[in-house]
Amino acid sequence: MAQTLLSIGGSGFVSGTLARRAVGAGWDVTVVSRGQRPLPEGVRGITADRKDQTQFAEALSTCGSFDLVVDCIGYDPEDAVQDVEQFRNRTKRFVFVSTDFVFDPAHRQFPQAEESQHYLTQAYGGKKRQCEQVLLDSDCGQMEWTVVRPCHIYGPGSLLGCLPAHGRDKDLIERIRRGDALQLVGGGHFLQQPILAADLADLMLSLVDCPRAEGQIFQAAGPDLVESRTFYAIIADLLGVELQIEELSVDAYLQDNPASAPFLCHRIYDLSRLRSVGAAVPSTPLVEGLRSHVEAVLANRN
């Protein structure tokens, strides 16, 4: 009998990748979305806006239990409260997708472990940390929860680019092909470990049969530690051109764009905890993953 997955979100980049990987692996997949975009083939869709508490509860009332529930879109702490209320008796394993932006960029360690004395309290990272705290503090009944904190996620279904001022840049390929100098803050010398979306999806699916992951928070990063400029250099090499870079001052950029601070630091992670529980550790080399990403972007433009 096929394992069952419920994904909160199913038409976005991460949620869509998760749904497709699960269908391809033989899962029975249900997704909850607002119904505003097409869903991946092979899934059952439930239309509901999770911000409408009553509508969301009613939409799930006819569903049975699931082997795995993944919240791909939770952001406000109220979303995590809703997860506990709706799924504490409806699934054995629950996964919440957080972010590596939970850490205060001014107090990072190298490599960064899962625990820190310095978390953000505001904006995107701060809200994700509040969601984590809800799970840590709640009575979750039979629901065994796990949190994953991906760093930069790339792959087919998303725009290319990992660093200001060319993060998720829809014109990145054209700029590189023309020989335009990419304006990278700090010259793109910040270290990071991009994770392929398919690897992240496979990691989350593997947690269904991972009892030692109960109540755990894991960094989710790719196998290659590279400078951000190397990310762009690989893309240029795949396009058969030479990369040109113009360095932007970190201080000047942060003065005008203070919210970009979480991007402008080394994002280096210790994956030993993830390895220790037997989950599917991300393993796709960056060059291989970026090749698939570039090919997908080019195919979508033809």
Q: What is the mean pLDDT of residues 231-253?
A: 98
For 199-220, what is the mean pLDDT?
Answer: 97
Strands 216-220 and 245-248: unpaired
Q: What is the pLDDT of residue 35?
A: 84
Q: How far apart are CA 202 and CA 27, in angstroms?
A: 12
User: Can you tell me whether residue 154 is helix, strand or coil?
Assistant: strand
pLDDT band at residue 249 under the 50/70/90 scheme: very high
| Cα separations in angstroms, 85 against 76, 174, 284 | 15, 47, 36
- Residue 92: what residue type? K
CA–CA gap between residue 266 and residue 109 (Å, rounded): 9
Q: How far is CA 292 from the centre of its chain?
A: 18
DSSP characters for 232-253? HHHHHHHHTS---EEEEPHHHH
For residue 187, give the DSSP letter.
G
Per-residue pLDDT tens digits for 55-73? 999 999 988 899 999 999 9
pLDDT band of residue 163 (cuts 50, 70, 90) is very high
Region 263-286: mean pLDDT is: 96
117 burial via Cβ count (<10 Å: 0-12, 13-18, 19+): exposed
- As a whole number of angstroms, the distance between CA 255 and CA 250 comes to 9
What is the overall mean pLDDT for the chain? 96
Q: What percent of the chain has pLDDT above 70?
A: 100
Query: Which one, of 271, 126, 116, 262, lies nearest residue 193 by Cα?
Result: 271
Residue 88 in contact with residue 95, Cβ under 8 Å? Answer: no
| Mean pLDDT of all residues in 72-83 | 97
- Do residues 101 and 128 make contact, with C-beta atoms less than 8 angstroms apart? yes
pLDDT class for 254, splitting at 50, 70, 90?
Answer: very high
Q: Assess whether pLDDT exceeds 80 at residue 277.
A: yes
Check residue 62 and give its pLDDT. 86
- For residue 17, what pLDDT is reported? 98
31 pLDDT more than 90: yes
Closest to 245 measured CA to CA, from 260, 257, 230: 230
Question: What pLDDT is attached to residue 1?
Answer: 84
Give the mean pLDDT of 148-166.
Answer: 97
